[in-house]
């Protein structure tokens, strides 16, 4: 459920017509609904209310400071994957005691900064990384809390680029090597082995892979306990899918119902890292039609948003529903079209071979479900300034990130003197 709906013939975000937002901040722009964000977070949180838990919002899905603050105020922590994300999380006021740090390539500097900030734990992805964390911790006289990220070799039935828990994946430590690594980690002086972590992929539309993964993890936890390695945290990652088109993903409550029986008696604190399911359907990308163009075999609608603003269609062949802001326009005769941007790449499209109601230059469109992996993946390719982000709360319009200027584009660049 979300707060983007037609009222009086116009697409609204909460109480504001999206056309008014477009008028105030221009297009393209990202628009987020405060109410949807809150509801999604609370649905996840309350589904797990009967077990001690921490939600660490996977901030790579959307790392705007205002969104992070909003989450933190609801009690969320953050799942970070870089020093930059640590910086953002701290700026936004996310308590360090609820920050977990994943990623296969953490640098010694990033590890040191996270240790100094006293984050909850590192989700460690390799044997070599355990040693580096131990060394860095020793060098500053600290003990690093760690969980090992286990690769349970489960197929999450999602896009290969967002499958992370299969044998061929670069993530985690193979389940059958885990015990050995846990023993090694426990023998080190500057690590405190506190958890087990598994995150098998993103946009999962069925609970079965979660359950299969968890069964393997629970078996491992039992083995570890028998060996005297006392695990206190179980981190099940994120990955719950959303409806982009026809998908019928489980609700957070369905996930809770499926997994809680497996873990409720373990006496552990549950950690979770949802990203997409919180922000995906809480945001849209608003764009304007510039031109129509009849190709030899195709009809193109050229809009002012492009792959540099929203790369998911180009990168994953992802489907995003496209709606006109004017409800009337949705009833026009349909035709097959490609919705493409101005970037000079044939891979620059927002929709391909899509049957949509006819649109005209000057009209505004909403690209739905764009709140996750949208702005955060945007770039300046083709020297296009990155676009603004707007948070709507009831009838209020809050610009939470300004549109970049041309000067922003060249920030940090210099022409060496020899070229003068």
Ligand X SMILES: *Cc1c(COP(=O)(O)O)cnc(C)c1O
Site string for ligand X, 150-189 (x = CB under 6 A): ----------------------------------------
Instruction: Report the candidate in 96, 87, 179 with the shortest Cα–Cα distance to residue 145.
Output: 96
Instruction: Report the candidate in 137, 223, 234 with the shortest Cα–Cα distance to residue 177.
Output: 223
Nearer to ligand X, 28 or 172 (CB): 172
Nearer to ligand X, 57 or 349 (CB): 57
Query: Applying CB under 6 A, which of residues 25, 29, 47, 58 lies at the interface with ligand X?
Result: 58
**Within 48-199, where are the H helices?**
65-73, 83-91, 108-117, 127-139, 178-186
344 is catalytic: yes
User: Which residue bears the tokens 């056309």?
Assistant: 19
Nearer to ligand X, 14 or 125 (CB): 125
79 lies in the site for ligand X, by CB under 6 A = yes
Site string for ligand X, 225-244 (x = CB under 6 A): ------------xxxx----
With CB under 6 A as the contact rule, which of the stretches 54-62, 107-115, 129-137, 310-318 interacts with ligand X?
Answer: 54-62
Nearer to ligand X, 53 or 276 (CB): 276
* Region at 69 (left for phi over 0; alpha for psi -120 to 50; beta for the rest): alpha
Nearer to ligand X, 188 or 372 (CB): 372
- Per residue in 161-187, is it b (16+ CB within 10 Å) or e — as a string? ebbbbbeeeebbbebeebeebbeebee
Set 333, 344, 355, 415: catalytic member: 344
Query: Applying CB under 6 A, which of residues 53, 60, 88, 320 lies at the interface with ligand X?
Result: 60
CA-to-CA dists, residue 348 to 81, 165, 343, angstroms: 27, 30, 6
Give the per-residue SS3 of 90-112.
HHCCCCHHHEEECCCCCCHHHHH
40 lies in the site for ligand X, by CB under 6 A = no
Nearer to ligand X, 72 or 162 (CB): 162
With CB under 6 A as the contact rule, which of the stretches 125-133, 268-276, 294-302, 322-330 interacts with ligand X?
Answer: 268-276
CA-to-CA dists, residue 5 to 1, 93, 242, 283, angstroms: 10, 32, 17, 12
102 lies in the site for ligand X, by CB under 6 A = yes
Is residue 280 within 8 A of residue 369, CB to CB? The reply is: yes
Which secondary structure element, helix H or strand E, spans residue 234, and what is its range? strand 233-235
Nearer to ligand X, 40 or 199 (CB): 199
- Per residue in 209-246, is it b (16+ CB within 10 Å) or e — as a string? bbebbbebbbebbeebeeeebebbbbbbbbbbbbbbee
For the bound state, the minimum distance from the C-beta of residue 202 to ligand X, rounded and expressed in Å, comes to 3
CA-to-CA dists, residue 285 to 159, 288, 316, angstroms: 22, 10, 17
The angle, 0 to 180 degrees and rounded to 10, between the axes of the packed helices 178-186 and 208-226 is 50
Nearer to ligand X, 276 or 384 (CB): 276
With CB under 6 A as the contact rule, which of the stretches 248-256, 270-278, 284-292, 385-393 interacts with ligand X?
Answer: 270-278
For the bound state, the minimum distance from the C-beta of residue 318 to ligand X, rounded and expressed in Å, comes to 13
Contacts with ligand X by CB under 6 A: the residue count is 17
Window 202-221: residues binding ligand X (CB under 6 A): 202
With CB under 6 A as the contact rule, which of the stretches 56-64, 355-363, 395-403, 408-416 interacts with ligand X?
Answer: 56-64
Query: Applying CB under 6 A, which of residues 250, 275, 324, 341 lies at the interface with ligand X?
Result: 275
With CB under 6 A as the contact rule, which of the stretches 222-230, 273-281, 325-333, 396-404 interacts with ligand X?
Answer: 273-281
Q: How many Å apart are CA 354 and CA 338, to the nearest integer?
A: 6
Q: How many Å apart are CA 300 and CA 293, to the nearest integer?
A: 5
For the bound state, the minimum distance from the C-beta of residue 383 to ligand X, rounded and expressed in Å, comes to 29
For the bound state, the minimum distance from the C-beta of residue 63 to ligand X, rounded and expressed in Å, comes to 12
**Within 122-251, where are the H helices?**
127-139, 178-186, 208-226
273 lies in the site for ligand X, by CB under 6 A = yes
274 lies in the site for ligand X, by CB under 6 A = yes
199 lies in the site for ligand X, by CB under 6 A = yes
Give catalytic residues, as residue numbers.
Answer: 344
Q: Which residues bind ligand X (CB under 6 A)?
A: 58, 60-61, 79, 102, 199, 202, 237-240, 273-277, 372
């Amino acid at each position: 459920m979300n707060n983007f709906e037609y009222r009086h013939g116009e697409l609204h975000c909460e109480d504001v017509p999206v056309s008014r937002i477009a008028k105030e901040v221009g297009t393209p722009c990202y628009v987020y609904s405060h109410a949807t964000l809150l509801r999604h977070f609370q649905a996840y949180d309350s589904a797990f209310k009967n077990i001690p838990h921490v939600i660490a919002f996977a901030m790579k899905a959307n790392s705007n400071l205002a969104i992070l603050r909003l989450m933190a105020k609801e009690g969320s922590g953050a799942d970070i994957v870089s020093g930059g994300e640590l910086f953002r999380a701290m700026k936004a006021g996310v308590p360090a005691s609820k920050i977990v740090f994943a990623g296969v390539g953490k640098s010694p500097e990033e590890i040191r900064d996270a240790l100094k900030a006293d984050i909850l734990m590192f989700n460690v992805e390799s044997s070599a990384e355990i040693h580096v964390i131990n060394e860095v911790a020793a060098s500053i006289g600290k003990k690093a809390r760690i969980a090992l990220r286990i690769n349970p070799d489960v197929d999450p039935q999602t896009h290969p680029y967002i499958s992370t828990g299969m044998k061929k994946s670069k993530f985690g430590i193979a389940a059958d090597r885990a015990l050995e690594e846990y023993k090694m980690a426990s023998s080190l002086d500057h690590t405190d082995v506190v958890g087990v972590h598994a995150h098998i992929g993103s946009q999962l539309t069925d609970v079965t892979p979660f359950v299969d993964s968890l069964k393997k993890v629970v078996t491992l936890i039992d083995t570890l306990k028998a060996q005297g390695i006392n695990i206190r945290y179980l981190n099940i990652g994120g990955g719950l899918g959303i409806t982009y088109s026809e998908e019928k993903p489980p609700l957070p409550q369905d996930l809770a119902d499926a997994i809680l029986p497996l873990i409720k008696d373990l006496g552990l604190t549950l950690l979770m890292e949802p990203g997409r399911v919180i922000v995906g359907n809480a945001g849209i990308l608003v764009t304007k039609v510039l031109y129509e163009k009849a190709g030899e075999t195709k009809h193109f609608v050229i809009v002012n948003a492009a792959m540099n603003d929203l790369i998911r269609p180009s990168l994953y062949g992802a489907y995003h529903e496209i709606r006109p802001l004017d409800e009337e326009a949705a009833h026009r005769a349909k035709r097959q079209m490609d919705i493409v941007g101005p970037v000079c790449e044939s891979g620059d499209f927002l929709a391909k071979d899509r049957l949509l109601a006819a649109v005209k230059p000057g009209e505004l469109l909403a690209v739905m479900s764009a709140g996750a992996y949208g702005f955060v993946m945007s770039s300046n390719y083709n020297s296009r300034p990155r676009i603004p982000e707007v948070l709507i709360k009831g009838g209020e319009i809050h610009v939470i990130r300004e549109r970049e200027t041309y000067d922003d584009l060249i920030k940090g660049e210099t022409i060496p003197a020899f070229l003068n």
